[in-house]
Amino acid sequence: MGLFDKIGQRFSSRKIVYMPITGKVISLSEINDGVFSEGILGKGVGIIPEEGIVYAPFDGEVILIADTKHAIGLKSTQGVELIIHVGMDTVEMNGKGFSQQVKVGDSIKCGQQIMTFSLEEISKSGYVSTTAVIVTNSDQFKTVEVLLEGDQEKQKELLSLS
């Protein structure tokens, strides 16, 4: 196998998670919740949202929606399992201000709107809107690399897994 074959193989085996929300990318350690900041659920990032819309970060399937609508679990066609957890302690809001445009078992396309939430309701309820984007099967990958930081638009390459 030549050098270009190896390079091509390396890139073809990469799995990409795109920005699901427009906002400021922060490291997991900056999230004010130990379950996320200590990587207990897996590797990933935090996003401080600028708007209340979540977009599918890859092609795949919806595998979980929290009863309280604040979190959604997804699995990519390449086997990446991801949870998008909007806000910290927003489970206490019992779904107020959250709405899904998909249901468990639905196929999703990268860029498709899958969830909305009210930044105003989260703030009014006394919570922060910092959103955790976690690869829950991180241990199945050699690397989970964060590609962005700071203010970013939706659908940019956020994580690279190999």
Nearest Cα neighbor of 77 from 138, 135, 16 is 16
Nearest Cα neighbor of 47 from 137, 162, 155 is 155
Active-site choice (62, 85, 88, 134):
85
- Active site includes 70? no
> E-strand spans in the chain?
15-18, 23-27, 43-49, 53-55, 60-65, 71-76, 81-85, 98-100, 107-108, 113-117, 131-135, 144-146, 150-152, 157-161
The enclosing H or E element of 9 equals helix 3-12
Contacts with 128 (C-beta within 8 Å, 6 or more apart), sequence order: 32, 87, 88, 122
Q: Contact 53/114 with Cβ under 8 angstroms? A: no
Active-site residue set = 85
